[in-house]
Amino acid sequence: MLRKILATALVITALGSCTIASAAVRHWQQCGAKGENQLYFDLNSLQRLNDVLVVQEKEDKSKTDAKGIRGAIFSREYNFKKNQYRTVSKQLYNAQGKILITNKKVEPWQKITAQSQAASQMEFLLASSRLQGPWTQVKNIGTLAVKYYNPATLKETKKNVLEVWEKLEMNKVTNQTKTVVSFVRYDVAKETATTLYTCEYNAKGELLTAKADIDNWGAKDDSYGEYIGKELKQKLQKK
């Protein structure tokens, strides 16, 4: 992955942020639009608890309505295994960001259908949560980056074939990217690897891209020393 970042410029979706008055420190990251309204989620509130994502989301209207409402903040839970979500509270705010109404009614779970806006939102949030780890350092990639793996995801799917989520932390921002989190399959016996999915983040921890990124590579053409199949096999044997 490091060789791809350094060799090519990345096409990155511009993401913004917005701040409204609140007692809590929030990091609003734009994640889409609903008609003329802008959608955000609070990166600082995002938590992954087993199969459930907990997060605060915001819908900011293009205009203030007749009641003085400019937008709403929702506290939501997404169960990405069951493809459903629910709203556990809702706050309405005015143009100055002041909370006018708070509703703490927990709504029933709603099914998320394929290709829907809720499905896209859940995928975005899930990719954003990948950065949280936990992470264990494996090795330094020269002076360019540091390689980590997520021990909770490491498993042997068949003899000498490992799958894992790993993280590449760049020492310097390259093409706006500071961190790359990838899902990789290692064939330790053949010393080959296949990157199956990649998420890229900027220095603020904001998700830039998330995509299925099939890349076949291995120890023989690994000029930067990223291959960690043998190291992961050793760690798995020590469990």
Strands 52-60, 177-187: pairing is: unpaired
* Model confidence band, residue 67 (pLDDT cutoffs 50, 70, 90): very high
- Distances 113 to 43, 58, 78, 119, 203 between C-alpha atoms, Å: 24, 21, 13, 7, 33
pLDDT of residue 231 exceeding 80, the answer is yes
pLDDT at 2: 62
Q: What is the CATH number of domain 133-238?
A: 2.40.128.710
pLDDT at 188: 97
Least confident range of 8-22, 67-81, 183-197: 8-22
pLDDT averaged over the chain? 90
Determine the pLDDT at residue 9. Answer: 33
Whether the pLDDT of residue 8 is over 90: the answer is no
Q: Is the link from the previous residue into 151 a cis peptide, with omega within 30 of 0?
A: no
Residue 179 CB burial class (10 angstroms; 0-12, 13-18, ≥19): buried
- CATH 2.40.128.710 range(s) for the chain read 17-130, 133-238
Q: Which CATH architecture has domain 17-130?
A: Beta Barrel (2.40)
Name the nearest CA neighbour of 188 among 216, 222, 212, 163.
163
Q: Which of residues 4 and 90 earns the better pLDDT score? A: 90
Confidence of residue 15 (pLDDT cuts 50, 70, 90): very low
* pLDDT, tens digit (0-9, with 9 covering 90-100), for 117-142: 999 999 999 999 999 989 999 999 99
What's this model's pTM, rounded to 2 decimal places?
A: 0.82
Among candidate residues 167, 221, 212, the one with its CA nearest the CA of residue 193:
221
* pLDDT score of 95: 95
Read off the pLDDT of residues 160-172 as tens digits, 9 standing for 90 and up: 999 999 999 999 9
What was the pLDDT predicted at 169?
97
Q: Is the pLDDT of residue 7 over 90?
A: no
Three-state SS for 143?
coil
Task: Give dist(CA 33, CA 117) in Å, integer.
Answer: 9
Judge contact between 194 and 215, C-beta under 8 A.
yes
Average pLDDT over residues 71-99: 97
pLDDT band at 238 (very low <50, low <70, confident <90, very high): confident
What is the rounded average pLDDT of the residues 29-43?
Answer: 92
Given pLDDT bands bounded at 50, 70 and 90, which one contains residue 1? low
Cα–Cα distance measured from residue 156 to residue 191, given in angstroms and rounded to the nearest whole number: 15
